[in-house]
Structure 1
Amino acid sequence: MTTRPRVDESRTVAIAGANGMLGHHLVEALHASGNRVIALVRQPSAQHFTSAVELRRWQASDPVAPVDGADAVINLVGNPIFAKPWSPERKQELTQTRLLATRSLVEGIRKIGGEGRTFISSTAVEYTGDTGDRQVDEQAAPGTGGFLTELTQVWEAEAQHVRETGARLVLLRQSLVLGREGGTLAALLPVYRSGFGGTLGPGGQWFSWIHINDAVRLILHALDQETITGPFISASPNPVTSREFAETFAHTLHRPRLFPMSRGMMQMVWGERAALFLDSHRMVPQVALSTGFQFRFPTLSETLSDLLGPHPIPIAQLLQEASRK
């Protein structure tokens, strides 16, 4: 029987979606921690990872992912949700990419034997649907209604098949990841810097978010803590309302908070995609907190001050600081 490496041993981790914002930071963190990294990518020749990272050609439609030799497999695959309007064809593309990639990775683990291995598969906090003002943790029941809720639930159902192999499954329910290189923060930054940023929607709906470095550290935590299985919320313990988000963003940039966007205006501009900002998600990362994880950036103010400042703290430095404690 294959056994999992102890926390203080080097391990081999295969990452699907390594070329995304979160994936790049995770590769850096794993390498800095002494792990061997395999990046599963469509075009190895087009990648710019350090030479220590092994590149393997793979795409979501491949029946079996090449994860030979991996102690853990991390699935971060997913076309950007907000990039294009949600036409029926786009919805099918977003769903199929996630399902096919997850299925391929599960079959790769099945091929090499899952006993003693870990599969961390990214999903989303939308699993529970719009929860209003109610605080929600990993024990919450699945929600109803809306494309994102339905997508997340079928995504998790596909990942559940890895349990048949004997592998440990962690369902990484990802919140809004804030990072300088892309995503929501990069999209909103020009608007707020120009002084035209404002509250999105009615203002009382809750945003769950996380600093990208804490998102990476949470994945490392899930790798190390073998008692963690099933749903695992990746979000700060301090969600904010839409109004608080706008106020903090504007204050950090020393700009006014102007021109709020009403629900109707958002739906007119973004259509069904407006649900990303209008639905309420007040998540509590109970599993992370109960297993001893300490957030480096627990508040939105600390997060934006770091990310929007001249010298954001690199993930490697955070890991060095943690190792000295």
Structure 2
Amino acid sequence: MKIVIAGGTGFVGRALTKLLQEKGHEIIILTRHKSGRENDIHYVQWLQQNTRPEQLLDDVDAFVNLAGISLNNGRWTKKQKKAIYTSRMEATLEIVRIMERLTSKPKVLVNASAVGIYPTSTTTIYTEDSTDYATDFLGTTVYDWERHAKRAEKLGVRVALARFGVILGRTSGALPSMLLPYKLHIGGTIGSGEQWLSWVHVEDVARAIYFAITNNDIHGPFNVTAPHATRMKDFGITIASVMGKRHWMPVPSFAMRLVLGEQSTLVLEGQHVLPTVLEKHHFTFNFPHLNDALKDLL
């Protein structure tokens, strides 16, 4: 297959690109830099003045949209929140515009999303059938992101919305910052410890995206979280156990809010999310349990 990736050089994009190369697919990565070829990957410039990437995207089978400024990239100031929101909307609308101009439409668009679309709760369990949506900054951003992606359905393109949980990786994502206190021997429970963390190994994220590309029955939202979410206190205890460190120094909520501001909601609040659609279609997680995921990553 010929697969186009927006955000292909980011955390998830790199893992997906590696997987697709191993499976022998042709990969095109949309980039703000000049078009060219490197390591059997075709880079096509987009989102720059006078660029027309659609002219280089004939007979594409699938689009994957992972583009957008990271939620972990700095304090959520008013300016930063605008950049987070705008980067996602701009990229998604441009992908739809590109598709509109292609003579041969792709079969599928897998668009990134996030479990932040669900309200935070310590008691509710969310699946793809849940219709209770968060109205805070993150919830609104994710809702609009999905809404723009679904415009591609009018072109006859199957749209699958990958609602990512907290993605764990060796050098990127949320895990490195979570490990640091334990490396400094000051690791402990963050906030109340009762908040849910719906996590997922980055390798399973890449595999789930590929699964959605190749499975015609997957459309609309699908949660990309490991089947066994954990509460934050248990997450920290598991990290300490795997690393052979102490779990002892609690980090109060007010301290996190003082340091991170509104961004602190990513660790102080959470959702218990199940990957019901993936399991219904018999997707197998390589890392369904946190202990095994952390042993692999650490």
Partner SS, residue 161 of structure 2 = strand
Q: Which moved more, 1:11-20 or 1:142-151?
A: 142-151
Q: Give me the CA root mean square deviation.
A: 1.9
Counterpart residue number, 1:185 = 175
Q: Offset of 1:264 from its aligned partner?
A: 1.3
The reply on whether 1:306 has 2:296 as its aligned counterpart is: yes
1:64-143 map, 5 Å: 65-66=53-54, 67-113=57-103, 115=105, 117-143=107-133
Q: Which moved more, 1:247-256 or 1:110-119?
A: 110-119
Contact 1:204 1:242 in 2 (8 A): yes
CA distance in 2, matches of 1:15, 1:142: 30
Q: Which of 273, 285, 300 does residue 275 from structure 2 map onto?
A: 285
Q: Offset of 1:62 from its aligned partner?
A: 7.7
Q: Which of 131, 135, 139 does residue 149 from structure 1 map onto?
A: 139
The reply on whether 1:54 has 2:42 as its aligned counterpart is: yes
CA distance in 2, matches of 1:156, 1:251: 38
Contact 1:62 1:104 in 2 (8 A): no
Counterpart residue number, 1:224 = 214
**Count of residue correspondences:** 296
The reply on whether 1:206 has 2:196 as its aligned counterpart is: yes
Partner SS, residue 185 of structure 2 = coil
Change (3 A) 1:155 1:63: farther
Partner SS, residue 38 of structure 1 = strand
Q: Offset of 1:228 from its aligned partner?
A: 0.3
Counterpart residue number, 2:244 = 254
CA distance in 2, matches of 1:61, 1:101: 14
Partner SS, residue 193 of structure 2 = coil
Q: Which moved more, 1:167-176 or 1:125-134?
A: 125-134
Change (3 A) 1:165 1:64: farther
Per-residue deviation, residues 142-198 of structure 1 (Å, max 9, x unmatched): 423321111111111111111111100001101111011212112222221221111
TM-score (norm 1): 0.87
Gaps of 5+ in 1: 1-10, 309-325
Q: Which of 266, 284, 287 does residue 297 from structure 1 map onto?
A: 287
Contact 2:167 2:202 in 1 (8 A): yes
Q: Which moved more, 1:131-140 or 1:211-220?
A: 131-140
Contact 1:142 1:153 in 2 (8 A): no
Amino acid at match of 2:93: R
Change (3 A) 1:63 1:158: farther
Partner SS, residue 155 of structure 1 = helix
Aligned residues: percent identity? 28
Amino acid at match of 2:47: Q
Per-residue deviation, residues 64-86 of structure 1 (Å, max 9, x unmatched): 65343311000001111122111
Partner SS, residue 183 of structure 1 = coil
CA distance in 1, matches of 2:221, 2:48: 23
